[in-house]
Structure 1
Amino acid sequence: MSRYRGPRLRIVRRLGELPGLSRKNPKRAYPPGQHGQGRRKRSEYAIRLEEKQKLRFNYGLNERQMLRYVRKARRVTGSTGQVLLQLLEMRLDNTVFRLGMAPTIPAARQLVNHGHITVNGKVLNIASYSCRPGDVIAARDRDASRNLVTANLQSPGLAHLPSHLEFDKNTLVGKVNGIVEREWVALQINELLVVEYYSRQA
């Protein structure tokens, strides 16, 4: 299954607020489609599926990537759900978004893919790169890259910088100081339901 490229507001209406996918707020508060305003009785499976879809669409992953992250989280000691969120939050595209260098995660992924971002002084165009404590993330030292990031900083996607990151707006240089803590995850989600969803597959 490939990455979703359709209308983002349709997904936001169906799943609720997804800060990484879109900054826009839908005009209608009910899900899209003919039966969007009807009362739905959802099964437990449907609830778990919806939580999984929230995670997938917010971070812009396909199903195979999600399954790989779940399996990786299972191998780490600790709460699988919390480790899964940490793995997703520490991706380079998400870190660029959380630093305020891009308004959404898809926009951050484009910045990375087009070679506008450096990690520890080297241009890195792999959006799924897992950031580690001590990594220095900056706009590439050329006018096009710096102008793009400066323009994005005028209206960042999220107002608050997480405690594990620091960013200097004058030099356009950010630093990862640690692993993200659960309370700084912007997405409202029950990660345990996602783990339950994948319990039979992973």
Structure 2
Amino acid sequence: MARDMSPVLKRCRALGLEPTFLGIDKKSNRNFARAGKKISEYGTQLREKQKAKFIYGVLEKPFRNNFDKAKKLKYGTTGENLLILLELRLDNVMFRMGYGRTRTEARQIVDHKHVLVNGKCVNIPSYQVKAGDVISIKEKCKSAQRYKDILEVTDGRTVPAWLEADHENLTGTVKEIPTRDQIDVPVNEVLIVELYSK
């Protein structure tokens, strides 16, 4: 499976992004600003798309598929729908609930068949969860040291209002579909729509 292997902090600097949005508790000592470089309109739009792809760990083809799906939805705006679809990915939901320090780790946990959705094993990170879905870690994996280590790091992380997490039992519920206001990613989705509309 193709993956973005670029250095995280370097990529964050290039995109003007705080590493905390990726679940990484590191700071870059270098300056975000790109001295004297004026970015074109296209460049600004492209950067927003790259930012969204980088935050959610999605490559171009699946990102474009999500965009096409968002465009076909009969409610809401395309940009908001795109972010909601990305937010409802199983790997992202695991990260949001605190069962992965980063989205990459959450994706690996899903890949390794540790996750149950409504009692059924799901190992597809891009699986779209729905309101009412119950997500849990497999019983035989719950005692693993890995999850104790993860929760040590993520316990202070705020779980979004649209999710419910029970860290003691390593389970969680999707209470509702998130709204744009509940998605805290620093992405201007309007620019992504403009880019794809060209």
Q: TM-score, normalised by structure 1?
A: 0.90
Residue equivalent to 1:23: 25
Name the aligned partner's letter for residue 64 of structure 2.
L
- Report what 2:5 is aligned to: 5
Deviation sequence 1:28-57 (CA, Å, 0-9, x none): 1236xxxx5x31111000000000000011
Distance 1:60 1:13 in 2: 16
Query: What's 1:52 paired with?
Result: 49
- 2:46 and 2:195 in contact (8 A); partners too: yes
Separation (CA, whole Å) in 1 of partners of 2:97 and 2:31? 29
TM-score under structure 2 normalisation? 0.91
Q: 1:136 to 1:144 in 2, by over 3 A?
A: closer
Render the CA deviation track for 1:59-118: whole Å, top value 9, x for unaligned: 111111111111100001221111000000000000000000011111100010011111
CA distance in 2, matches of 1:158, 1:12: 23
Task: Determine if contact 1:112/1:127 at 8 Å carries over to the other structure.
Answer: yes
Task: State the Cα distance separating 1:21 from its structure 2 match.
Answer: 6.3
Question: Where in structure 2 are there 5+ consecutive unaligned residues?
Answer: none
* Structure 2 Cα separation of the partners of residues 172 and 144 of structure 1: 7
Aligned residues: 195
Question: How much is the aligned-residue C-alpha RMSD, in angstroms?
Answer: 1.9
Note the residue ranges of structure 1 that are not aligned, 5 or more in a row.
none
**Corresponding residue of 2:154:** 156
Q: Which amino acid aligns with 2:108?
A: Q
**What is the rounded CA distance, in whole Å, between the counterparts of 1:174 and 1:74 in structure 2?**
29
SS in 2 for 1:129: coil
Q: Which of 105, 108, 111 is residue 110 of structure 1 equivalent to?
A: 108
SS of residue in 2 equivalent to 1:137: strand
